[in-house]
Structure 1
Amino acid sequence: MTALIVKGSKTERFRDKMTDLIKYMNRNKLGKEIRSQVKNHLLLHYESSDTKHSVVEDIPVAIRSKVISQTLFMDIVQEVQLFKGCSDEFLNQIVMKLNEEFFLPGEVILEQGSAADQIYIVSHGILEEVASGKDGCEESIAELKPYDVFGDVAVLCNTQQPYTVRVCELCKLLRIEKQSLTSIFQLYFNDSRKVLSNLLKGKGTALRIKHLESDITYLIAKQEAELVLRFNNAAYHGDLYALKGLINAGADPNKINYDRRTALHVATSKGHEEIVKFLVQRGANVNCIDKFGSSPLLEAVKAGHDRIAAHLVKNGAILNLEDNGSYVRKIATESNISTLRRLLEYGVDPNTKNYDLRTPLHVAAAEGLHLVAAVLLEFGADVLSKDRWGNTPLDEGRRCGSKPLLQILEQARANLTCNR
């Protein structure tokens, strides 16, 4: 009885592919053993072509996600040591990216020393890890059973595959691409750290653990630095949506960059009021100091963002200037009236003194800056404060010879005398 093969059917495609493969092997004079393995593997894929990937690949992602995560792979993934302690949201993303494959006994999945770009989970069957020595001898390292993982060290640590992995009996494997896993890690930072921690726990010998420990410590530090950079960049551009996503992924709003600046420093300096309110609400430290001695409130004051400054003060912010006197004298010398006024409004003492006991008013009087002097006096600067040489701001004003300045200082002394 003759079997009918429908044109364009799966059977016809398999037959044509097998014919082309045999021609290829004949042309290249491949050995009998390798020819047999190739044909058996192709036959296996034909017989198991009703796997998840081929059957549901055309189903919409939303439906596919529900079917896969609840029915096909979730129970397996939850038993995998590498993913222990990870969130359900993270695991859902993992199962969405899994594909299943079947392999015959004797097939090599990964070669020792190769650059792996996929992680495999054993769903069914037995495999073995073997190490090849310089003399060509093989040493059995471990037996891989259901729920075991391989390829993880090479993929996660960006290193060579440590051992050859070979199939012992017919097995079904679930695999995820390195690129897919990397994308998921970027969305779930806390889970990615948990995976790296689990990787260290699950790898045998003390020597391997010591080697992995340095790699994993480096990877975690790199991830944290990249996350801070992305978080601060979102704050810089006022991207609230991105910030919320990064917070949900595990970003810490109080993490500092290389200049010890937080996202709150960045947002206040750029005037992003909505971002500032969000960060404060999420627990950002309103009194953190960067390497330049600036607090978020000082950033807001310098930039003239009064509403942001008021919100920070409402939530406990202070200027936290390491050297009030030096900074105020610098602002006074620059005749930066608006910044000076805001600094004084937020509590900076106008009578702070330097090592020569000179106040900002001394500096303003010596430079003839009558407008600066007027602002300082308005906020309580002492016109009769003496420096280490016994000079007052009034003495400095007389030496300077500026009539508007001298008039302001004389009036301040007269008012002081009347009040006394």
Structure 2
Amino acid sequence: MEGYTWIGSLKLGDYSYANFREIDLAKRYITSLYFAIVTMSTVGYGDIHAINIREMIFVMIYVSFDMILGAYLIGNMTALIVKGSRTERFRDKMKEVIRYMNRNKLGKEIREQIKGHLRLQYESSYTEASVLQDIPISIRAKISQTLYKPYVESVPLFKGCSAEFIQQIVIRLQEEFFLPGEVILEQGSAVDQLYFVCYGALEGVGIGEDGQEETLLMLEPESSFGEISILCNIPQPYTVRVCELCQLLRLDKQSFTNILEIYFVDGRRILSNLSESEYGGRIKQLESDITFHIGKQEAELILRVNSAAFYGDLHQLKSLIRAGADPKNTDYDGRTPLHLAASRGYEDVVQFLLGEGVDINLTDQFGNTPLLEAVKQGHERVAALLFAKGAKLSLKNAGSHLCTAVAKGDSDFIRRALAFGADPNCGDYDHRTPLHIAAAEGLYLIAQMLVEAGASVFATDRYASKL
């Protein structure tokens, strides 16, 4: 019956649908569509409602289906919106970590520490450090200097270091946060990170053989830790534990080492500062380790300078010396860069080293001077340059050397040696002069060269033998 249906009982204003079968089909269709849309988009309404049991059942099924469909659509739209967001990444990472902890049956304490650190990373993910990751390196370097340079400059470890060195450190720093109770470095472990404290507090704890803990030092802002293990290549001497929420700046060991290879003078200053630090003075062994590494760095630096001179790399040599390397230092054989440059015939390198005030007549462990090295190797232009600056052959046992050269017929060496100050009348252990050997061997040209250089034709040897 028409009156016992939703549309038959419908009355909108003064208009009634009691005899809806007589109403225009288009109007009935629009009214039915209105009922369907209102039913689907709302839960309960006033003027349009079910009248009989069949309509009630239909509406219940219809609205239930609508709720399920709506929830599905909203859920998918939400998933599309948050897809790739940091919230989703945090949840996914937390799920993976929980599965890992369950699989390995980790204890409750370490579980809470891991979860707390992940939450801290999530909450601090929009700090200055994360913002910098998407900025070009050149701009990031300027921002890093503004943010981190005041902290690094005030660290006692870098006292007296150059501004260029500090700048290279600053642009490679990474920012991290740690919760109270977390252990950052453990005693006896190998360390590959250097840390600087921005704010917060940490404690350095030493663990004795009896297992008892002793607080060795407190680490507050403008402090650093990890440098002892990195610089001295020894295990971490104490455990570092967080006392209160702290912000740290981290620098990896490889980057730090690469910077020290360039700014080696600052490296020596850092080792000196470390030996004078509060903790460095408390361990005598640490002082000896630092002294050893300072000596090792000095030896490596001398080898780098000598290597540049040996290969004629004037640009590298200038860079090393301007950075603080001393060209007057000698290597394990007592050779200076001037010895090596002269032996290789690098005139430009020799000229540069002379301008740096290198000892021109220093002899190495074999008794060779730079001039003698140039003469031996036949580099006459270099030898002439050194001789003009006042260099001397300083040829020990000159008589024996010249006599041996005459016996070998090495006229070139004899000529160069005589030209640069060798005495043609020096004798060997038997008081024989080079002219004795030339005459005995019938070496006319060498004998003529010696006579023209001033060799005496009346010299006698130990056996009173004349020429």
2:112 is the counterpart of 1:36: yes
2:251 is the counterpart of 1:180: no
2:406 is the counterpart of 1:335: no
Which residue number in structure 1 is paired with residue 352 of structure 2?
Answer: 278
Task: Pick the aligned partner of 1:153 from 223, 228, 249.
Answer: 228
Q: Aligned partners of 2:127, 2:339: CA distance in 1, in Å?
A: 52
Which residue number in structure 1 is paired with residue 372 of structure 2?
Answer: 298
Q: Aligned partners of 2:159, 2:264: CA distance in 1, in Å?
A: 15
**Residue 299 (structure 1) shift:** 1.3
- Aligned residues of 2:280 and 2:287 also touching (Cα < 8 A): no
Deviation string, structure 1 residues 295-328 (Cα, Å, up to 9, x no partner): 1111111222121112212322221222322222
Task: Pick the aligned partner of 1:189 from 226, 244, 264.
Answer: 264
Which residue number in structure 2 is paired with residue 105 of structure 1?
Answer: 180
- Aligned residues of 1:113 and 1:162 also touching (Cα < 8 A): yes
Q: Aligned partners of 1:172, 1:312: CA distance in 2, in Å?
A: 59
2:202 is the counterpart of 1:127: yes
Q: Comparing 181-190 with 134-143, which one deviates more in the overlay?
A: 134-143
What code does the residue aligned with 1:243 have?
L
- Aligned residues of 2:405 and 2:414 also touching (Cα < 8 A): yes
Asked which structure has the greater CA Rg, the reply is 2
Deviation string, structure 1 residues 211-238 (Cα, Å, up to 9, x no partner): 1121112111211222222222222222
What code does the residue aligned with 2:124 have?
S
**Residue 81 (structure 1) shift:** 0.6
What code does the residue aligned with 2:127 have?
T
Deviation string, structure 1 residues 115-160 (Cα, Å, up to 9, x no partner): 1111111110001111223343211111111111111111111111
What code does the residue aligned with 2:178 have?
F
Which residue number in structure 2 is paired with residue 414 of structure 1?
Answer: none
Task: Pick the aligned partner of 1:8 from 77, 84, 90.
Answer: 84
What code does the residue aligned with 1:133 have?
G
Higher relative contact order (CA 8 A, sep 6+): 1
**Residue 52 (structure 1) shift:** 4.1
Q: 1:250 to 1:79 in 2, by over 3 A?
A: same
What code does the residue aligned with 2:412 have?
S
Partner SS, residue 126 of structure 1: strand
**Residue 363 (structure 1) shift:** 2.1
What code does the residue aligned with 1:150 have?
F
What code does the residue aligned with 1:167 have?
V
Task: Pick the aligned partner of 1:199 from 274, 288, 296.
Answer: 274
- Aligned residues of 2:354 and 2:360 also touching (Cα < 8 A): yes
- Aligned residues of 1:120 and 1:150 also touching (Cα < 8 A): yes
Task: Pick the aligned partner of 1:91 from 159, 166, 178.
Answer: 166
- Aligned residues of 1:128 and 1:143 also touching (Cα < 8 A): yes
Structure 1 gap segments, 5+ residues each: 394-420
Q: Comparing 14-23 with 352-361, which one deviates more in the overlay?
A: 352-361
Q: 1:27 to 1:372 in 2, by over 3 A?
A: same
Task: Pick the aligned partner of 1:258 from 325, 332, 344.
Answer: 332
Q: Aligned partners of 1:206, 1:14: CA distance in 2, in Å?
A: 45
2:384 is the counterpart of 1:384: no
Which residue number in structure 2 is paired with residue 322 of structure 1?
Answer: 396
Which residue number in structure 1 is paired with residue 298 of structure 2?
Answer: 224
Percent of aligned pairs sharing the same letter: 56
Which residue number in structure 2 is paired with residue 363 of structure 1?
Answer: 437
Q: Aligned partners of 2:173, 2:403: CA distance in 1, in Å?
A: 64
Q: Aligned partners of 1:218, 1:135: CA distance in 2, in Å?
A: 31
2:145 is the counterpart of 1:63: no
What code does the residue aligned with 2:416 have?
R
Q: Aligned partners of 1:15, 1:355: CA distance in 2, in Å?
A: 91
**Residue 205 (structure 1) shift:** 7.0
- Aligned residues of 2:403 and 2:428 also touching (Cα < 8 A): no
- Aligned residues of 1:271 and 1:305 also touching (Cα < 8 A): yes
Partner SS, residue 318 of structure 1: coil
Which residue number in structure 1 is paired with residue 318 of structure 2?
Answer: 244
- Aligned residues of 1:52 and 1:99 also touching (Cα < 8 A): no
Q: Aligned partners of 1:195, 1:112: CA distance in 2, in Å?
A: 22
TM-score, structure 2 normalization: 0.80
**Residue 62 (structure 1) shift:** 2.9
Partner SS, residue 123 of structure 1: strand
Partner SS, residue 125 of structure 1: strand
Task: Pick the aligned partner of 1:347 from 421, 426, 432.
Answer: 421
- Aligned residues of 1:332 and 1:364 also touching (Cα < 8 A): yes
**Residue 85 (structure 1) shift:** 0.8
